[in-house]
A and B are shown apart, each in its own frame.
Chain A
């Protein structure tokens, strides 16, 4: 019994090995629907209704294929293992490939020459300085000749590089023309594989013209799909789909829900801002963290200790950091009025530059430009934990009365906040990073949660125009709550028409 199992296993192994070896053979050049090499496997039924079209909502360079599976895929003979996708490719593409290869070789050669020349010159210098001895004259002469030859060759190769680049650009422009020669002067080439049961494939090229995977827009492409069996030579080709051209779209229809939401929200914001401008009294609920800012600055003044303001690890492009800039401006103005010391260590040099300008303007607005000095805001490092170490050191040495953490924070949030708590400072934090909120809530006296950070500048200034945008946010949140409730009902009642309205493409 054991022996029979072993023989059966060996046979299966042989079959797999043979299949693997056959897979190594390239795809057949022609459609082989009548190919009957294997005794037991018959050619499968072809895929049906093959369609090809430009991929929707993209930048182009991509074609989508769709088909109905072969009747021998999962049924009938059940012999289809995969589908191979072929695109008709003109021989001209080989010429382009040749130009690309020559270009790559020339570029590599020039880089090598450019790296070699300074080294050779250095060696020559060393040889000339050395004591004349056996072979001295030979080595000096060798380096002199080699350098002279390299310097002669380098411009020639650079000219050749320029010429090849021009040839490549011309060849790329000719791709659409070359595809018009179908079915002459070209052949079918495999571009991908889909597993059995799959009914679609996206032939996505890249948009970079220098890449070998570049798929030109506005060229006529033709496709066929082969249903492939375990014996890869036994296959059946589909009908040919094409010509199809890829091109980029000017509007991503998959993002219509976002577009509508942006329009509605913009309208709400403009409406409430206009209303606020006309003098409408808008109520916004008080935020304890914001109201504590003035008290915290007053406390620092009474104690004669500084205020530490940390802008976080965000860049100047993060909304959290931009919101923090606004709060810093308000805080700096109060600090200047009370003549308290402010310390702003920065993680990002761009953030530092912007923060310096903000603090300078705040001191000017407060009528105390003489109190401002550039080192109030300074750069520390762009290494996360080195920054934490520096700020913690400042906290423990300067013992600030108040620490403010406003902006984008990551793992350093708790280390900073706990050190501040140990130093006995009043701490006010605000971040839009949900994962860091629990740490700040635990270790700080006041925390601005998420959007409260963005709202803080409006609260601090109490300017009606800024308060108007807060009202718009409140109404948008109410709308989201209503829609979430409706979505809940729709999902449970299987109203896909409603839920599909909110599906957004990437």
Chain B
């Protein structure tokens, strides 16, 4: 029964979702929106489980003095401090806890932690991408065989298309780069997208019909 009920629910709602796509009527839209609301509701409860998991894993690391056990302390401090600042606000000449209103969002400590710690750290992580692209490109464009050499040539042409100092060969390079991007590259991309589309439909059908049950914890 533990498996039958989820499978039955998946079948009913899966079939409904398929038909919903073809039925524009308001009643169909209403049920669709109602079901989507459930995702938010489940998400909120799951977030509590997620935070509990994070706290448990962090505390376990601190207790066991595992390698890098100082980081979980910072994680937990950040978590609790932001919660504290987020619910604390200044109104009518005094500080207080506000759980139902948005005073906490204008708390200077909350804003400072977000604007001057969170955002710079996130930007730093994103900026790493530039260096990783360079190292990945170096590995990818090494001319080890004919295919890799072709890749190298294609990459050079595409990279050179915005170079303003190429003189008369500039337009030729730009045209070649456009052709590479719009013909062979786009053809390959579309082939993958068509495959992904068919794969999605097949996987969805397998799930709806109960053929694929891996997501339930049984292969």
Contact = CB atoms under 8 A, between A and B. Distances in A.
16 contacts: A248-B27, A265-B198, A329-B219, A333-B219, A349-B47, A349-B51, A357-B216, A360-B217, A375-B57, A378-B53, A385-B122, A385-B125, A388-B125, A389-B125, A443-B132, A480-B198
Contacts of A472: 202
A252 B23 contact: yes
Interface in B171-219: 189, 192-196, 198-207, 209, 211-212, 214-219
Contacts of B196: 432, 434, 450-451
A231 B29 CA distance: 44
Interface stretch (B38-46, B105-113, B158-166): B38-46
A465 B54 CA distance: 39
Interface residues of A, number: 93
Given A122-B96, A379-B53, A451 B126 contact: no
Contacts of B136: 414, 417-418, 439, 442-443
Interface stretch (A13-21, A147-155, A234-242, A316-324): A316-324
Q: Which of B39, B128, B132, B137 neighbours the largest number of chain A CB atoms within 10 Å of its CB?
A: B132
Contacts of A388: 125
Contacts of B101: 115
A133 B92 CA distance: 21
A354 B56 CA distance: 18
Contacts of A71: none
Contacts of A322: 203, 207, 215
Contacts of A470: 202
Given A378-B54, A451-B198, A262 B18 contact: yes
Mostly, the A contact residues are helix
B92 to A, nearest CB: 5
A255 B22 contact: yes
B71 interface: yes
Interface string A472-504: 110011001000000000000000000000000
A13 B151 CA distance: 60
A378 B57 CA distance: 7
Interface string A392-428: 0100010000000000000100110110000000000
A146 to B, nearest CB: 14
Interface of A: 57-61, 115, 119, 122-123, 126, 207, 248-252, 255, 258-259, 262, 265-266, 269-270, 273, 315, 317, 319, 322-323, 325-327, 329-330, 333, 346, 348-350, 352-354, 357-358, 360-362, 365, 374-375, 378-386, 388-389, 393, 397, 411, 414-415, 417-418, 432, 434, 437, 439, 441-443, 449-451, 453-455, 457, 461, 465-466, 469-470, 472-473, 476-477, 480
B126 A385 contact: yes
Contacts of A348: 46, 50
Nearest to A330: B219
Interface string B65-106: 001100100000000000000000001101010000100000
A248 B25 contact: yes
B49 A248 contact: no
